[in-house]
Amino acid sequence: MIALLDANNFFVSCERVFRPDLMNRPVAVLSNNDGCLISRSNEVKALGVPMGAPYIKYKDVLADHNVAIFSSHFTLYGDLSSRMMSLIESLVPKIEVYSIDEPFIDLSGIKNIEALCHHIRHTIWRSLGIPTSIGIAKTKTLAKVANYYAKRTPAFKSICYLDSFDRTELALKKISIGEIWGIGKQISKKLESQGVITAWDLKQVDPRCMRQQFTVVGERIVRELNGISCLAIEDVEDLKKSIQVTRSFGKPITNFYDLKAAIATYATRLGEKLRRQDLFTQNVSVFIRTNKHRPNDPQYSNSATVVLQKPINDGISLIKAASIALQQIYINGYTYSKAGIMAHELKPKGQNVQLDLFSNKFEEPLQSPELWEAIDNLNKRYGRGTLFSAACGKSLSWKDKKNLLSPSYTTRWDQIAIAFAR
Ligand SMILES: [Mg+2]
């Protein structure tokens, strides 16, 4: 048996952990630049405000209902996520982290499955204050279905166990194929035109037929719905092929220096991501573009790639490479709204590397792993941006708009929650 644990309204729940006063108040979390709603409490869902709704459009409705609004605070969510995952890991033999708030849990060999799952939920609630739902079934795809019901059926008390054929049949008959893991809009449209409406209908489709139409991915879904596990719990993360940092600017950029500073900041962030995974890159791409939602403005977008002589992951070399790429594509006179940097051809540490015979040895100290470990540790301890390259610039007017950010309760000493006792 496999369980899928999923935190309820995760970002909202994270905001509530240190704000018990919000426990019964509607809460919503916004995307980058405070653009759209990306997490809603049940009260906000009940208001009929859809997922991904533009904040501007619903601002008045939300204010009328006294909804507490937050900018997205990924440092907080990431930290609470890793605490939740290690808590679960301490209670079960094996998990696979599927997303920031969803691990698959391998339950093979567990005798009292339901009791263990109640214990996991209770432990997370008591230790972290995060509410969760658990779906249990024979395969990952069915565990996702079970989780769908665990969330929506109050009688299940947040745990749904598809332990019998009858229960599974009932569950599959009442769920449309669009809700099934891996069935996107395109596929569900095509299937619906063939009369396949519910997951139960999909379960009856000949797997070979699915393979012909939707490749092996489609075939697997049908087999998984039939209780045949095709997707194992994987404990090793696949080696990523590329890593990127892409953002829209809080305010449009019209000059080269601000754009260069923005790219340098993204390159810094990219370096942090690479070093955290012990990866190096030899191939750095930068893209810039104007706002395509303003068709009356002159439009431009372009990208450039710099191929390096040896793999790097230090901030200074990444900023240098990114600046070279930017110079190749920058054209004056446009209003830029978005940019990004990507590292390709990632190599793990220690992989054989062709050394550069002619490299300038004065550059070496800047690439010393000890230096960057020290920088990372300082920024981790005292907050991101404590130590940064001057290339990133001091004026951050182009930075993400985050006007409604909550404190970094769990990652900054100066923002730790204070409790008063009477
Ligand atoms: Mg969730």
pLDDT tens profile 30-76: 987 788 999 999 999 999 999 999 999 999 999 999 999 999 998 89
The residue among 324 and 355 whose pLDDT is bigger is 324
Q: Is residue 11 predicted with pLDDT exceeding 70?
A: yes
CA angle 223, 229, 232 (to 5 degrees): 135
Provide the 3-class DSSP secondary structure of residue 267: helix
Ligand 1 mean position, distance from CA 258 (Å):
37
Distance 119 CA to ligand 1 centre (A): 19
What separation in Å is there between the alpha carbon of 51 and the centre of ligand 1?
A: 13
Burial of 280 (0-12, 13-18, 19+ CB in 10 A): buried
Please give the domain boundaries of the chain with CATH numbers for all domains: 2-159 (3.30.70.270), 165-225 (1.10.150.20), 243-392 (3.30.1490.100)
pLDDT band at residue 236 using 50, 70 and 90 as cut-offs? very low
Global pTM value: 0.74
pLDDT band at 362 (very low <50, low <70, confident <90, very high): very low
The rounded Å distance from CA 353 to ligand 1 centre is 41
Q: How far apart are the CA of 47 and the centre of ligand 1, in A? A: 19
Distance 95 CA to ligand 1 centre (A): 16
Going from the C-alpha of 402 to that of each of 34, 68, 231, 258, 272, the distances in angstroms are 6, 15, 39, 19, 21
- Interval between CA 146 and ligand 1 midpoint (Å): 14
What's the rounded Cα separation, in Å, for the pair 334 and 286? 17
What is 119-143 written as a DSSP string? Answer: HHHHHHHHHH---EEEEEESSHHHH
| Segment 79-106 mean pLDDT | 93
Question: What separation in Å is there between the alpha carbon of 11 and the centre of ligand 1?
Answer: 8
Distance CA 146, CA 41 (A): 21
Q: Report the separation in Å between the CA atom of 154 and the middle of ligand 1, taken as the mean of its atom positions.
A: 17
- pLDDT exceeds 50 at position 128: yes
